[in-house]
Amino acid sequence: MSRYAVSRTVSDFRPDLELLDVADAVTQKKTWSLTREAFDKFLDCLDGDREQAGCRYEKIRSKLISFFEWRDCPFPEDHADEAINRVVRKIDQGEELRDASEYVFGVARMLLLEIARARENEAKALNLLPVPHAEDGDSDESESRVECLRRCLEELPPEGRELITAYYHGERRSKIENRKRLAERLGIPPNALRIRACRLRERLAGCMDRCMKSLKDVK
């Protein structure tokens, strides 16, 4: 076991549906990457005193999680992080915001509309699909994604593999508590954990893209 002593590893993920959830998370396309420098700019916008800025960040994030939870969104914590990341990106790219703490809730409302539209589109698409037979099992694509994720996770160093699998384990409230405990085990603040997980997710996403392409070429 590594010095991080996290409680879950890749071999603990059963059934494969749980691995598919991780695959969904790491394969989301990103055109901008969260960095420590970018996040520090966001904190500076919240308050000139770093300790006060950290407290304001935690309050904002907690309110955002509640905002998405109350509206029955599937991943409240991830949606809250996405709303904050979008504001961090704007600041990092040079946009001046009069009140970043207020602006982030406007972004959250826009994100909520995106989530609603995505749900509606998914529902329409599902209605057009034929009812699958019980013996059909998982699709070839899902099986390929799981296999690629397994391969890519094995390419990570042990501490990175343990961190990313623990980070995406759980649903809703349990995921929030898991991440709090993970940050405590690592001895780092939650925002530092988010940045580490973001970097690992991007590394996995690139690996999975290459793996999926290679599997398609073989077929």
Q: Where are the alpha helices (DSSP H) in 4-139?
A: 16-26, 36-46, 50-70, 76-92, 100-128
Percentage, residues of the chain above pLDDT 70: 74
Domain boundaries, the chain: 10-218
pLDDT tens track for 96-123: 888 998 999 999 999 988 888 877 765 6
Q: Is the peptide bond before 190 cis (omega within 30 degrees of 0)?
A: no
pLDDT in tens, 129-138: 454 444 444 5
Main-chain dihedrals φ then ψ at residue 74, nearest 5 degrees: -65, -35
Considering the entire predicted model, what is its pTM? 0.53
Give tens-digit pLDDT for 31-82: 567 888 989 999 999 998 988 998 999 999 999 989 988 887 777 888 898 8
79 neighbors 86 (Cβ within 8 angstroms):
no
